[in-house]
């Protein structure tokens, strides 16, 4: 790619970064790698690995920060208390801890041209101290989501303060990069002009998530991989498994892999329902191991919680699922469901509808040609539109426009 800038140095400020689980960590890594592939130099300021378990690796303990590398990405990790990410107040404390500790990395970040921040407060700090352009990332609409999930009550003091904080931070950004166009109108409600909003999808690393030979097993495996968080409805999976158990379809099994605050609840439900057709892998694995697990499945599931409204974001899981060429079962409404339909990469069922989920698994199991066609369609789409290199190129072009004054 030819660029009018001979070199572009980007500072990424992100509380979550691999090996942390979750879409925010994946998004930050994909942007970093995508920028590297497009000729940029990238430094990341991130928290010590901590999500979702709260276990800080030994090599980080009792240190204010630690500098390392992930390939060509320079990573400065700063202090984070050993707390599980569960409940609103613990999450708030973790957020505040990184907002403070991220400043410890200031002497080591060196020079940069632009800040891309998924953690807004320290991002604003670095932008103002160094007098550089600031791009704010939006992975989700946190205040709205925590209300819909029942973690906070609409109209409460914390919600009002949170909305005020959003307004304060949004106006600091020179541009905003939500992961989905579904967020644009909601962001505008905070006073951000539409021309400052530049949706860029999460993307997928096609070097890690690649095609592999289909599994050789008589069982048809439907897999979820990721955080055991309140954003997902695991009860829908377990009830669907119970339906299939009662129908004596023991040729279909569900595998749930990951870690997080709902682990005990999932395990307890499996035991209560005596589900022999559900396996739980309660551990965090590397990205390469995630890709291997996905390749070992026959279908992949996104069991979104019922927010009481169409979901506006698009989970990074969908791109990874597509990249390994497997059919997707999307439990949800809104942007993710529309995306799966438009890319012809899976089937969509309503949230909480366990019967429809069981029928979808049966349909894919009994129609291998359909399953193969959906998987091939998904892989073709991500190759053409959402590889990390393509995401990095779009991000770099935005940065260049800001630095040259063409985007205000």
- Backbone φ and ψ for 256, nearest 5 degrees, come out as -120, 115
* 362: number of Cβ within 10 Å: 18
User: Over the stretch 310-360, which tens digit does the pLDDT of each residue have?
Assistant: 888 898 999 999 999 999 999 999 999 999 999 999 999 999 999 999 999
- Closest by alpha carbon to 380, among 369, 391, 372? 372
Pick the CATH number of 8-203+387-403 from 3.40.1650.10, 3.40.50.300, 3.40.50.2000, 3.30.1370.100: 3.40.50.2000
Q: Do domains 8-203+387-403 and 220-385 have the same CATH topology?
A: yes
The domain spans of the chain are 8-203+387-403, 220-385
How far is CA 2 from each of CA 7, 400, 404, rounded to the nearest angstrom?
11, 12, 15
pTM score of the predicted model = 0.87
- Tens digit of each residue's pLDDT (9 = 90 or more) over 352-394: 999 999 999 999 999 999 999 999 999 999 999 999 999 999 9
Which two three-digit tokens encode residue 52? Answer: 């979702």
pLDDT at 73: 96
Q: What pLDDT, on the 0 to 100 scale, is given for residue 2?
A: 37
Which of 355, 351, 263 is CA-nearest to residue 307? 351
Lowest mean pLDDT among 22-26, 211-215, 275-279, 370-374: 211-215
pLDDT tens profile 98-143: 999 999 999 999 999 999 999 999 999 999 999 999 999 998 766 6
62 burial level (CB within 10 Å; 0-12, 13-18, 19+)? exposed
Helix (H, G, I), strand (E, B) or coil at 372: helix
CATH number, domain 220-385: 3.40.50.2000
Q: With a cut of 90, say whether residue 245 has pLDDT above it.
A: yes
pLDDT at 309: 82
Nearest to 25 by CA among 371, 396, 315: 315
CB-based contact 241:254 (threshold 8 Å): yes
Q: Edge-to-edge, what's the strand order for the sheet holding 220-227?
A: 278-282, 252-259, 220-227, 299-303, 328-331, 346-349
Backbone Cα Rg of the chain: 21
Chain-centre distance for alpha carbon 180 = 12
Q: With helix as H, strand as E and coil as C, how does 114-172 read?
A: EEEECCHHHHHHHHHHHCCEEEEEECCCHHHHHHHCCCCCCCCHHHHHHHHHHHHHHCC
Confidence of residue 160 (pLDDT cuts 50, 70, 90): confident
């Amino acid at each position: 790619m030819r660029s009018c800038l001979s070199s572009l140095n980007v500072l990424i400020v992100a509380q979550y970064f691999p090996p942390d689980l979750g879409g925010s960590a994946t998004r930050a890594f994909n942007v970093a790698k995508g920028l590297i592939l497009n000729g940029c130099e990238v430094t990341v300021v991130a928290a010590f690995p901590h999500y979702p378990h709260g276990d800080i690796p030994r090599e980080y303990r009792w240190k204010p920060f630690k500098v390392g590398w992930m390939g060509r990405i320079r990573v400065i990790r700063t202090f984070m208390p050993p707390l599980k990410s569960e409940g609103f107040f613990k999450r708030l404390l973790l957020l505040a801890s990184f907002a403070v500790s991220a400043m410890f990395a200031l002497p080591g970040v060196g020079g940069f041209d632009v800040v891309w921040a998924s953690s807004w407060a320290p991002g604003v700090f670095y932008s103002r101290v160094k007098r550089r352009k600031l791009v704010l990332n939006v992975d989700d609409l946190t205040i709205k989501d925590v209300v819909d999930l029942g973690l906070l009550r609409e109209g409460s003091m914390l919600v009002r303060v949170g909305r005020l904080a959003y307004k304060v931070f949004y106006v600091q950004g020179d541009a905003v990069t939500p992961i989905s166009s579904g967020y644009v109108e909601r962001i505008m409600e905070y006073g951000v002009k539409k021309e400052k909003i530049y949706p860029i999808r999460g993307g997928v690393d096609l070097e890690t998530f690649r095609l592999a030979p289909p599994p050789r097993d008589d069982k048809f495996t439907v897999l979820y991989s990721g955080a055991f968080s309140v954003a997902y409805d695991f009860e829908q999976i377990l009830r669907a498994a119970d339906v299939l158990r009662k129908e004596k379809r023991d040729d279909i099994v569900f595998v749930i892999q990951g870690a997080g605050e709902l682990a005990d609840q999932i395990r307890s439900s499996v035991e209560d329902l005596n589900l022999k057709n559900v396996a739980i892998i309660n551990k965090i694995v590397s990205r390469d191991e995630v890709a291997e697990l996905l390749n070992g499945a026959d279908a992949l599931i996104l069991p979104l919680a019922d927010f009481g409204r169409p979901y506006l974001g698009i989970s990074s899981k969908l791109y990874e699922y597509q990249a390994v060429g497997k059919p997707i079962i999307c439990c949800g409404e809104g942007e993710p469901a529309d995306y799966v339909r438009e890319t012809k990469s899976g089937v969509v069922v309503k949230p909480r509808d366990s019967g429809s989920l069981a029928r979808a698994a049966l349909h894919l199991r009994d129609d291998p040609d359909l399953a193969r066609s959906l998987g091939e369609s998904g892989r073709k789409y991500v190759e053409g539109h959402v590889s990390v290199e393509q995401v990095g190129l779009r991000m770099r072009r935005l940065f260049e426009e800001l630095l040259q004054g063409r985007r205000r």
